[in-house]
Structure 1
Amino acid sequence: MEERINIGFEEDPSCEIPQVIIKADNKTELVDRIITAIEQCVSRENEKVVLYEGDKLHFVDPKDIIRVYTEKRKLMVCTSEGLFRSRLTLKEFES
């Protein structure tokens, strides 16, 4: 089955920080790949690591990372600010 997406841009002078919203009937593998690609693009630009605390997104400086480990098939990242989860695999995180 061919996976198709529509991509658009809306200019909004009141929006000071870019916002990305993905609309879909459910969260598919394609949606997850799009989210990961955007996160990696933003984190590379800022030289930060994208981490999660629940649904809240955090951009963490790599020098603040204390340790990384897996727990119940999830990648956990301990930093000076607290414990976070990464959507990357350990192999992706290391590169």
Structure 2
Amino acid sequence: MKFEVSIDPSYKEPKIIILTDKMTDEISDMMKSLSETYMDSLAVFSDRGVEIVECKDIIRIYSEKKKVFLQTAAGIFVVRSRVYELEEKLDSQFFVRISNSEIVNIKMILNMDISMTGTIGVLLKGNIKTYASRRYVSKIKKLFGI
């Protein structure tokens, strides 16, 4: 595979062109990775209206009573997206899904209790305690090399 970079002041944003004789898995993977853009902030709703929260400040995202909430050190906010939609948009290097209804920020994990059979107790910053469901235990253990 050959790469070529051309500097042209008339282009205000980068443009990528792939020239090939046929579509391959390698090219499909490359296109997918180039098109993946992760959010660095989210619009959330509070009693003060719409606020912008940076993703690095998110402790966890969870659903409860048919609503999706986002928790930071500053408080709990309502989000108008589904948990699975947020999982797709958030950077998987920093966020992990621990149950059908919850995503946590890996950087906010203080402790994981693996002594219980089948589940993992997760302690997050702010003394927030939650649990990983059985379905996600193997994924979490693999992520952390447990």
| TM-score normalised by the chain length of structure 2 | 0.32
Larger radius of gyration: 2
| TM-score normalised by the chain length of structure 1 | 0.48
Q: Which has the higher strand share?
A: 2
